[in-house]
Structure 1
Amino acid sequence: MALRQPLTQLSKRATPSQISRFAATPTTSLFPSDRKQLATVVPPVSQDATSSKGPTAMVFMNMGGPSTTDEVGDFLSRLFADGDLIPLGRLQNYLGPLISRRRTPKIQKQYAAIGGGSPIRKWSEYQAAEMCKILDKTSPETAPHKPYVAFRYANPLTEDVYTQMLADGFGGGKGGRAVAFTQYPQYSCSTTGSSLNELWKWRQRLEGKKASGEVSDEGSIKWSVIDRWPVHPGLVEAFAQNIEKTLAEYPAEKRDSVILLFSAHSLPMSVVNRGDPYPAEVAATVHAVMLRLKFSNTYRLVWQSQVGPSAWLGAQTSDTVTNYVKKGLHDLVLIPIAFTSDHIETLYEVDQEIIKEAEELGAEGVKRVESLNGSPVFIQALADIATEHLKQGKSCSKQMGLRCPGCKSERCLESKKFFMGQQAFL
């Protein structure tokens, strides 16, 4: 929901996931005890064939969320300790812990209200495992494919996943290949870029340095990246089918007049003005879905989860719903177009705040489209994207190599240079 007060006075209606999506650069984990919690346990995967190109680690990357209410405190502490994510100036080390401690009880109640924690880990692990089963059949030359999930601010953390991969026989002098597969279909420096920067940082630290200080490439994991997929036909089809299913719940005489509101997490205008590609790529997804639906309904792209006092990309989802309802437009369908599974933004912000407020205003026709979650169409799309990537033999998309016009981050530059440089090993 929209927040207009300073970060030191965060709204009671803000969620931690509203903040976590916008980490601009990586930071070192301040919680060594978290490393005791190893990465996601990798379940057995079916194996139809192996070759010199396998095995392949398939690493799903996302910002994550606390799986239990007990994890909320550490989750918030990581968020507020990051000066690039939430700049608090010279008082960062004091204000960060203070804000996180004050926020924890309220945020724990929000997670309790959606079942005791975020389901994003459950869905990510399921999607990754099911995709790998398909990949073993569609890309036998790179089998077996082992699924991993690496989160930016929640367990399993990127460093723990990398450590687990080394223990599983990838890298550490043994070589092997891994694919970093972003679970944000649309690229943003604050989401995919941040996760890749974090992965690059831990690769440099954990894969061993020479006496000269340089990181050794010999025997290390060879990485490639699936960095964006906003208009993939399978993704578009999965969204379209879920929308059609929801529209079918309306009476036939009302169905064509239902307004479709595609809702994506907003970005600060400072990030947008820097040249971040996210707004354009989200709009591309929306247009592709509407093409598939043959523009059956009127629609708008709106933005949710504004945080802090600065200007953010709008119009805001909550304001849009309220304004339409007050104008007598009560049949609205909310579509989480930039999220591939349920989490706090869908289950709490949309379901328990936005839709509830609309109902209190007398609108009974406001619904949310089901998230992609375990959709077989979506999981097949993931497998198709990964299969194509593995067969192409490219380290990343050409677009990933182009920095934002206003980018001044040296970390971003070095990260991009590393992943693009992996082409020589593929």
Structure 2
Amino acid sequence: MSLRTSLTAFPRQALSRPNWRQTVKTSLVNYGDQRCGMAATAHPVTQDSTGSKGPTAMVFLNMGGPSTTQEVGDFLSRLFADGDLIPLGRLQSYLGPLISRRRTPKIEKQYADIGGGSPIRKWSEYQCAEMCKILDKISPESAPHKPYVAFRYANPLTEQMYTQLLDDGFGRGKGGRAVAFTQYPQYSCSTTGSSLNELWKWRNRLEGKRANGGKEGEGAIQWSVIDRWPTHESLVEAFARNIEEQLATYPEERRNDVVLLFSAHSLPMSVINRGDPYAAEVAATVHAVMQRLNFTNPYRLCWQSQVGPSAWLGAQTSDTVQNYVKKGHADLLLIPIAFTSDHIETLYELDKEVIHEANSPGVKRVESLNGNPIFIKGLADIAAAHMRSGQTCSRQMTLRCQGCTSERCLEQKKFFAGPELSSLVR
């Protein structure tokens, strides 16, 4: 489906900033009322859908973030225990808790400074719910679509989501379809891979051999995966329009000289050197966005959120901004290119650290995707195309990193690849 076709429901006038902001605000108020019990509670999905292939559970996968400062300690404990994200080797079980305890007070203060918690759950649940409304219209054969969110390190955790799936009428002998939809547009074993490892683990515990005396349970949930979408046209268009809007705040005579700094979460070089595709896919997103912008401005890709003394992918965003300002590049525009909503890395690290320390009025950040209707419509288009394709995952997902030795990764990929593609996983 072309971008022009996919945006039919959103005329350009309707997508102007005041209009779509009010639409999102109204929708979020209604959504908040529902979460607070002020609207009727939705009934569990049952397996007697009017759609020929429905109902379908749409499960957003993401890192997550603590919704309150009280959740920071548990969030960090889970994060530093994950060797897929922060590989600490044999000392992971010792160093992980030690690092998380030492960092908790500092990180609690950071979350307090951005309002007392991360907005990532609010935005993830909103994006997924709005996407499902669109899917019910454009993909009636797989309707109704029920939204779920599974976070890796914060509530709602993967096991909580999976239990809710079962309680809502999926699995437990009833079958049903679920789509794991990564909210990391660019694939990494540290992010999407880790979330899929966790999903596979809990599937085995709740529906697989571990839950059924060594035998595969019948009538289990049928999973497929949307594992990457770094250059999808709606993702690119949403980023490009946000950039254009912020560029318009600079004087016209300086506008084309503003340096665009695309910033993404960094990874340890040990992960990159193993063959992880993340850096290449982030670069692909950057190039697609710049192509959409007709390369009107100079640009660079930089990396943020390095943790610990080991070598990480660089150059670091904070160093890049400081160096350019010192060299006389007063106008810099930061674009969080690997994030689909605001969270600690945008609201604190970029806004309160990088931009504040630059001490230059020309250093700004574009708005995050959050409730952007172009982006949400794009999510629906991606999901609809995936379900109609009949694919269990992309062929790219069947390839392990060149230096991968993880048996867990091997078995997880075989499971999600399904019978048709599992033979490709080695």
Q: Same fold (TM over 0.5)?
A: yes
Change (3 A) 1:350 1:176: same
Task: Report deviation, 1:81.
Answer: 3.5
CA contact 2:267–2:312 (8 Å) conserved in 1 = yes
Deviation sequence 1:143-174 (CA, Å, 0-9, x none): 00000000001000001100000000001111
Change (3 A) 1:207 1:116: same
CA contact 1:42–1:147 (8 Å) conserved in 2 = no
Change (3 A) 1:318 1:84: same
CA contact 2:236–2:289 (8 Å) conserved in 1 = yes
Say whether 1:61 aligns with 2:65: no
Report 1:90-169 matches (<5 A).
Answer: 92-169=92-169
Deviation sequence 1:34-67 (CA, Å, 0-9, x none): xxxxxxx99749x9x8223111000000010001
Structure 2 CA distance for aligned equivalents of residues 422 and 125 of structure 1: 32
Say whether 1:369 aligns with 2:366: yes
Task: Report deviation, 1:134.
Answer: 0.1
Task: Report deviation, 1:421.
Answer: 1.0
User: The residue matched to 1:77 in structure 2 has which SS?
Assistant: helix
Change (3 A) 1:42 1:352: farther
One-letter identity of the residue aligned with 2:130: E
Counterpart in 2 of 1:11? Answer: none
Structure 1 CA distance for aligned equivalents of residues 40 and 126 of structure 2: 11
Say whether 1:199 aligns with 2:199: yes
One-letter identity of the residue aligned with 1:414: E
Task: Report deviation, 1:264.
Answer: 0.7
One-letter identity of the residue aligned with 2:405: K
Deviation sequence 1:146-204 (CA, Å, 0-9, x none): 00000001000001100000000001111000000000000001000110111011101
Counterpart in 1 of 2:324? Answer: 324
Counterpart in 1 of 2:222? Answer: 222
Structure 2 CA distance for aligned equivalents of residues 95 and 415 of structure 1: 26
CA contact 2:84–2:194 (8 Å) conserved in 1 = no
Structure 2 CA distance for aligned equivalents of residues 51 and 366 of structure 1: 50
One-letter identity of the residue aligned with 2:285: T
Change (3 A) 1:277 1:381: same
Counterpart in 2 of 1:418? Answer: 415
Deviation sequence 1:288-345 (CA, Å, 0-9, x none): 1011000010101111111111111111111110000000111000000000000000
Report which stretch shifted further, 138-147 or 203-212: 203-212
Task: Report deviation, 1:219.
Answer: 0.3
CA contact 2:84–2:189 (8 Å) conserved in 1 = no
Report 1:14-53 matches (<5 A).
Answer: 44=42, 50-53=50-53
Change (3 A) 1:171 1:58: same
Say whether 1:308 aligns with 2:308: yes
Say whether 1:190 aligns with 2:190: yes
Counterpart in 2 of 1:15? Answer: none
Task: Report deviation, 1:208.
Answer: 4.4
Change (3 A) 1:84 1:374: closer
Change (3 A) 1:356 1:43: farther
User: The residue matched to 1:60 in structure 2 has which SS?
Assistant: strand
Structure 1 CA distance for aligned equivalents of residues 407 and 197 of structure 2: 11
One-letter identity of the residue aligned with 1:71: E
Structure 1 CA distance for aligned equivalents of residues 113 and 369 of structure 2: 21
Counterpart in 2 of 1:238? Answer: 238
Percentage of pairs with the same residue: 79
CA contact 1:196–1:415 (8 Å) conserved in 2 = yes
State the superposition RMSD in angstroms.
Answer: 2.1
Structure 2 CA distance for aligned equivalents of residues 265 and 91 of structure 1: 24
Task: Report deviation, 1:99.
Answer: 3.3
Structure 1 CA distance for aligned equivalents of residues 381 and 105 of structure 2: 42
Report 1:261-410 matches (<5 A).
Answer: 261-359=261-359, 363-410=360-407
Change (3 A) 1:232 1:96: closer
Change (3 A) 1:229 1:206: same
Structure 1 CA distance for aligned equivalents of residues 207 and 252 of structure 2: 60
Structure 1 CA distance for aligned equivalents of residues 248 and 315 of structure 2: 27
User: TM (normalized to structure 2)?
Assistant: 0.85
Deviation sequence 1:86-132 (CA, Å, 0-9, x none): 45566655544343333222211100001100000000000000000
User: The residue matched to 2:311 in structure 1 has which SS?
Assistant: coil
User: The residue matched to 1:244 in structure 2 has which SS?
Assistant: helix
Counterpart in 1 of 2:16? Answer: none
One-letter identity of the residue aligned with 2:390: G
CA contact 1:238–1:377 (8 Å) conserved in 2 = yes
| Structure 2 unaligned blocks of 5 or more | 1-38, 422-426
Report which stretch shifted further, 100-109 or 249-258: 100-109
Task: Report deviation, 1:398.
Answer: 0.7
CA contact 2:85–2:191 (8 Å) conserved in 1 = no
| Structure 1 unaligned blocks of 5 or more | 1-40
Task: Report deviation, 1:232.
Answer: 0.4
Structure 1 CA distance for aligned equivalents of residues 127 and 78 of structure 2: 26
Structure 1 CA distance for aligned equivalents of residues 257 and 394 of structure 2: 39
User: TM (normalized to structure 1)?
Assistant: 0.85
Change (3 A) 1:42 1:134: farther
CA contact 1:223–1:422 (8 Å) conserved in 2 = no
Counterpart in 2 of 1:249? Answer: 249
User: The residue matched to 1:61 in structure 2 has which SS?
Assistant: strand
Change (3 A) 1:83 1:182: closer
Structure 1 CA distance for aligned equivalents of residues 114 and 160 of structure 2: 27
